[in-house]
Amino acid sequence: MENKGIPLLGDMFPEMTVVTTHGEINLPNDFAGKWFVLFSHPGDFTPVCTTEFYSFQKKIDEFKALNCELIGLSVDQVFAHIKWEEWIKENLGIEITFPIIADTGAVADKLGLIHPGKGTNTVRAVFVVDASGHIRIMLYYPQELGRNMDEILRAVKAMQIADKNGVAMPANWPNNELIKDEVIIPPAKDVKTAKERLEKEKEGKWKCYDWWLCHKKL
């Protein structure tokens, strides 16, 4: 199946009006000034998706603390989303408070969400969009694998810190095996800057394994 209009990292999130459990929403404009995580799931009333929605809702306050909203999506009708939300509240004791997009297939087609060989089911995709409407992270999971919400939360927090401070984030931040919770200074692009980095290490401002691998505390 040919994927149409799949955006790339750094692209503006495609403008679209979507029908959700909270009414019509204009993306990304209605979230201007906020980050948002749009995540698709294969279908309502499915076991892995149910555990994911429960987990996303449990983390919602942590996302909101980062000025980040959550938006779900699947190729199901609004009434199915509503009934599923009711089931989750009655049986699992938690109320889903974020909107869920009821897609006719148009959104899934634009974002490349249809799972190959799985009919009309959507993949488990995650789009992290920043406050200016640009796509910063895209993650795709198969139907069989549920997502790790702690990782998505970590990624949003890390990107915001990287943007604010002009730094890069190490593997497993903030628990990196080499530099723990410190951040990485982007590599020098010229000889002058490389020498300056080593001088800053001598001054105790940064720590460097070499001129191209320097790190510091925030």
Residues 114, 2 contacting (CB under 8 angstroms): no
Residues 143 and 109 occupy one common structural domain:
yes
pLDDT score, position 71: 97
Q: List, for the chain, all residue ranges whose pLDDT scores fall below the cut of 50.
A: 1-3
Enclosing domain of residue 130 = 16-147
- CATH number for the domain spanning 214: value is 3.30.1020.10
Please indicate, yes or no, if residue 153 is contained in any of the structural domains: no
Residues 60 and 101 occupy one common structural domain:
yes
Distance CA 37, CA 53 (A): 13
pLDDT score, position 2: 44
Catalytic residue among 49, 68, 208, 214: 49
Residues 89 and 135 occupy one common structural domain:
yes
Residues 134 and 178 occupy one common structural domain:
no
Please indicate, yes or no, if residue 35 is contained in any of the structural domains: yes
pLDDT score, position 170: 97
Residues 35 and 81 occupy one common structural domain:
yes
Residues 52 and 143 occupy one common structural domain:
yes
Residues 88 and 193 occupy one common structural domain:
no
Domains identified in the chain, total number: 2
Please indicate, yes or no, if residue 119 is contained in any of the structural domains: yes
Say whether 49 is catalytic.
yes
- CATH number for the domain spanning 42: value is 3.40.30.10
Distance CA 70, CA 60 (A): 7
Tens of pLDDT, residue by residue over 154-179, are: 999 999 999 999 999 999 999 999 99
